[in-house]
Chains A and B, each alone.
Chain A
């Protein structure tokens, strides 16, 4: 395995995608919304609107808490209504939404890398290079996965800082993140990043343009929305154990999709689609 070639392919793809405004628009907007605007909104809301009014709109927080497992409910004991609201919203409600980022970033870069290369008619010269199919594949996967994970982690760091700073006067201490965030960051996020790119590779063999691939992989967001709904309704609560379990399941799906992707990423199949 020639790692110099693999990294060269990854770097080249990233340089290319960096020029794709369609790809980078959401990459800037979504972290900004998730890491700054939403936590600020949820931590500052109780200061300007009476919690009773918020409660009226969102339903009784205490009844929501009843859906949570005992281990989590302990986290809320002894907190006042404002603190409970901020903790619930920033730690639980928003948590699954963060998984949109690795999924979206990796599928956008993946779509630009796998389909865009074909659309821009640059694939043929690349196929004549003395790299193996596996090296080409790995270079392109790394180009999608590494920035997706890095950007997600960066967004988590900003989110952690914003939540703690904005709610410091309310809690009087640094309290965030809660334990379930760690497996989400280091186990579930990479799994979702790989899911985005592996699904893109499979989709890319069936579409002609970057936009088609981008739109199709966008449908994977349904997975994240299912987690959000599960969380809100109390059907599926994202505690540390659940996150580990879901992560394991996603990794298994990743392994299957990567296996299928590698089988479809062959020079003779790629050239016949040019």
Chain B
């Protein structure tokens, strides 16, 4: 399948500052791709480069096969962008905001009002559609900005901190929407965020970036395997296991080390692959140990992110 976005050694400098420093990645159709990094990592600049708003200082990029430098307008016809700040016309009403951007995105006049009404309804803004945006709460503004990004049904969405300023309920609604955009509608989403929990839930793959460089790229599973090729299993016993059993276990093939857990009846066993864990359990059961719980340790995106950022530092 041809990637929607192909980026090769992309660079952008502002004076001496390298905002984007040799990024290379591709985004597949219908994928939710995360650009994760702290403020100033280069996320927003990358979105600007890919939409032809900024020219690169070096490298190449293609979006839908178009070059952002010379074909930015063609790209922007097919993208919807939620900017970091809502960027709404506060002196205008919600309807006027959407009708204006719908016109710029060439929605036919005969469909425009219906489409605007549909988006306002979806984002539960219909009752306030004729109010000026300056009277809206932060959450309402964010919902309206999202409505604007989705108005022309773009096949590619760039969402910069989409749940920023939303209460947990509204954030959940937006996250569900992002998931459905990709899985139901087949839209491709590039999510620029530093909300790692959100990214873990939504993204098929992520690029963890800092100082304009990609520190790691891949799915959560790929990244955790790359960072931590060995894994841990936390085992909790009903009764503290016999010392002899645990000593013997240390020499079991695939077992690297055993550490006492926080409680007396718990241990953490480091193994060289997940496949060793069932063998360890089998051995312990055979030895008559009563196991209450076994948790193969999962790494979160947060673990990966901080490990990488710490390595970078």
**Number of chain A residues close to chain B: CB under 8 A:** 27
Complex CA gap A12/B104 in Å reads 11
Question: For window 117-151 of chain A, which residues contact chain B by CB distance below 8 Å?
Answer: 120-132
A124–B83 CB distance below 8 A: yes
Q: Which B residues between 1 and 40 are near A, CB-CB below 8 angstroms?
A: 14
A129 and B76 contacting across the interface, CB-CB below 8 Å: yes
Q: In the bound complex, do residue B104 and residue A268 qualify as a contact, i.e. CB atoms below 8 Å apart?
A: no
- Residue-by-residue, is B139-174 near A (CB-CB < 8 Å gives 1, otherwise 0)? 000000100100000000000000000000000000
Q: Report B102-137 residues with CB < 8 Å from chain A CB.
A: 103-106
Q: B92's contact among A9, A12, A128, A130, by CB below 8 Å, is which?
A: A12
Interface size on B, residues (CB 8 A): 31
Q: Does A15 contact B (CB under 8 A)?
A: yes
Q: Does A97 contact B (CB under 8 A)?
A: no
Take A129-B101, A131-B104 as given contacts and tell me if A121 and B87 are in contact as well, using a CB distance cutoff of 8 Å. Answer: yes
Interface check A169, CB cutoff 8 A: no
* A4/B103 in contact, CB under 8 A: yes
**Interface check B228, CB cutoff 8 A:** no
What's the minimum C-beta distance from A137 to chain B, rounded to whole angstroms? 14
B105–A124 touching, CB < 8 Å: no
Chain B residue nearest in CB terms to A136? B104
| A15 to B90 CA separation, bound complex (whole angstroms) | 11
Tell me if A63 counts as interface (CB < 8 A to partner B): no
Shortest CB–CB separation between residue B65 and chain A, in angstroms?
16
B83 partner, pick from A4, A19, A125, beta carbons under 8 A: A125
A247 to B106, CA, bound (A): 38
B54 in contact with A268 (CB, 8 Å): yes
Q: Is A80 close to B, CB under 8 A?
A: no
Contact B96 A15 (CB under 8 A): yes
Contact status A12-B89, CB under 8 Å: yes
B58 to chain A, nearest CB (A): 15
A271 touches B96 (CB 8 A): no
The verdict on B246 contacting chain A, using a C-beta distance below 8 Å, is no
Given the interface contacts A12-B92, A130-B77, does A124 sit within 8 Å of B87 by beta carbon?
A: yes
Q: Does B79 contact A (CB under 8 A)?
A: yes
Check A16–B91 contact: CB distance below 8 A: yes
Task: Judge if A223 is at the interface, Cβ distance under 8 Å.
Answer: no
Say yes or no for B48: interface residue by CB 8 A criterion.
yes
Q: Does A249 contact B (CB under 8 A)?
A: no
B264 at the interface (CB under 8 A from A): no
User: Do A130 and B104 touch (CB < 8 A)?
Assistant: yes
Is A5 engaged at the interface, CB distance under 8 Å to the other chain? yes
Of the listed residues A19, A124, A130, A272, the one surrounded by the most CB atoms of chain B closer than 10 A to its CB is: A130
Q: Which residues of B contact A226 (CB under 8 A)?
A: none
Contact A129 B104 (CB under 8 A): yes
| 8 Å CB contact of A130 from B54, B90, B105 | B105
Provide the residues of chain A in CB contact with B55, threshold 8 Å: 268
The minimal Cβ–Cβ distance linking A74 to chain B, given in whole angstroms, is 53
**Selected contact of A128 from candidates B14, B76, B88, B89, CB within 8 Å:** B76
- Verify B73–A131 contact, CB threshold 8 A: yes
**Nearest CB in chain A: distance from B74 CB, A:** 8
**B88 contact set on A, CB distance < 8 A:** 122, 125
B103: which A residues are within 8 A, CB to CB?
Answer: 4-5, 8
In the assembled complex, the Cα of A16 lies from the Cα of B133 at a distance in Å of 12
**Which residues of A sit under 8 angstroms from B51, Cβ to Cβ?**
128
**Given A15-B96, A271-B48, is A122 in contact with B105 using a C-beta cutoff of 8 Å?**
no
With a CB–CB cut-off of 8 A, which chain B residues contact A130?
A: 73-74, 76-77, 104-106
Bound: A243/B14 CA distance, A: 48
Query: Is B307 located at the chain interface by the 8 A CB criterion?
Result: no
A contact residues around B87 at 8 Å (CB):
121-126
The answer to the question of B53 belonging to the interface, with a C-beta cut-off of 8 Å to chain A, is yes
Contacts A2-B106, A129-B104: A15 and B76 contacting too (C-beta < 8 A)?
A: no
Point out which of B14, B48, B74, B88 has the most chain A C-beta atoms below 10 A from its C-beta.
Answer: B48
Please list the residues of chain B having a beta carbon within 8 angstroms of any beta carbon in chain A. Answer: 14, 48, 51-55, 72-74, 76-77, 79, 81, 83, 85, 87-92, 96, 100-101, 103-106, 145, 148
**Residues of A with Cβ closer than 8 Å to B?**
2, 4-5, 8-9, 12, 15-16, 19-20, 120-132, 267-268, 271-272
A9-B104, A129-B104, A130-B104 known; 15 new pairs, CB 8 Å cut-off, are A5-B103, A16-B92, A20-B91, A121-B85, A121-B87, A122-B87, A124-B87, A126-B104, A127-B53, A128-B81, A130-B105, A130-B106, A268-B54, A271-B48, A271-B54
* A-B residue pairs, 8 tightest by C-beta: A125-B87, A8-B103, A129-B104, A130-B76, A19-B91, A130-B77, A128-B81, A12-B100
